[in-house]
């Protein structure tokens, strides 16, 4: 197996982008989901209720984060300063830094009152899942710091769909090629160069996968089809959640050993 693509999502819920290489840190790929969109009360805003979030692209450019919607663009520092704001993401409550110019720009872009917040380096959010280890921590991602997916599994799914879909629907971090479909289900640990990951659990998917990343239109697929053959204990699985055991750099084309 080898890594076929790497994905970073600088802002939770917004569209992310592919990179050729990335640094593996304890809480996720460097720069991944360190920013988050919240409502006026500090609760995170998700594509589950607001699919239009995917119409805004967030990408890293060195020490900057660039937000884009159509012809409009905002450039932010990757480590901004600002007032503290109490925020919540699932079971976690944290004091994040509000990025005030980002809040104003996104409120206009999304036509709703939102705030953009940043997780500082000294903020630590532990993984609360019973499948996590005591040392696991995560950025603003839903539950675990990494998601692994397989090109072969997507190909198998697409053979069952009337209209094929891209991997972007599933918002992975690491994508591998060269494995049999659904072989990731049996992974317990994997190594990429000097970097090692432990597989914590299969990733149960939600309606975010039904949001078209190009148009923000929603539908029943791929969840309807996945549910017919990928349901385990009430969860519809695609991909595997990982936690790092040893950090370092990963690159597209790197060999992956299980």
Q: How many CA atoms lie within 13 A of 2 on its CB side?
A: 6
What is the pLDDT, as a whole number, of residue 247?
96
Residues 27 and 140: their CA atoms lie apart, in Å, by 9
- Tell me, yes or no, if the pTM score tops 0.95: yes
Helix or strand or coil: residue 184?
A: helix
Query: How many structural domains comprise the chain?
Result: 1
Residues in the chain, pLDDT under 70? none
CB atoms within 10 A of CB 17: 15
Residues 132 and 73: their CA atoms lie apart, in Å, by 38
What is the pLDDT, as a whole number, of residue 197?
98
Residue 45 DSSP symbol: P
Helix or strand or coil: residue 240?
A: strand
What is the pLDDT, as a whole number, of residue 210?
98
User: Which range marks the domain in which residue 214 is found?
Assistant: 2-257
Q: What is the CATH number of the domain that holds 15?
A: 2.40.33.20
């Amino acid at each position: 197996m080898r890594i076929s693509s790497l994905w970073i999502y600088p802002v939770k819920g917004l569209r992310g982008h592919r990179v050729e290489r990335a640094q593996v840190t304890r809480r996720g790929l460097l720069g991944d989901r360190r920013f988050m969109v919240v409502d006026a009360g500090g609760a995170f805003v998700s594509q589950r209720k607001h699919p239009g979030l995917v119409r805004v692209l967030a990408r890293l450019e060195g020490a900057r984060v660039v937000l884009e919607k159509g012809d409009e663009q905002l450039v932010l520092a990757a480590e901004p300063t600002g007032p503290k704001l109490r925020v919540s993401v699932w079971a976690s409550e944290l004091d994040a830094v509000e990025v005030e110019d980002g809040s104003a720009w996104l409120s206009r872009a999304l036509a709703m009152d939102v705030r953009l917040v940043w997780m500082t380096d000294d903020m630590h959010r532990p993984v609360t899942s019973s499948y996590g280890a005591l040392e696991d921590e995560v950025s603003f991602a839903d539950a675990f710091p990494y998601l692994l997916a397989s090109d072969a599994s997507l190909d198998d799914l697409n053979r069952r769909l009337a209209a094929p879909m891209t991997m972007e629907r599933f918002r992975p971090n690491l994508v591998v090629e060269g494995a049999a479909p659904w072989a990731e289900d049996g992974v317990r640990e994997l190594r990429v160069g000097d970097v090692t990951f432990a597989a914590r659990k299969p990733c149960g998917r939600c309606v975010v996968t039904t949001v078209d990343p190009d148009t923000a239109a929603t539908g029943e697929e791929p969840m309807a089809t996945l549910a017919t053959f990928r349901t385990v204990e009430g969860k519809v699985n695609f991909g595997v959640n990982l936690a790092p055991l040893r950090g370092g750099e990963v690159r597209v084309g790197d060999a992956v050993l299980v």
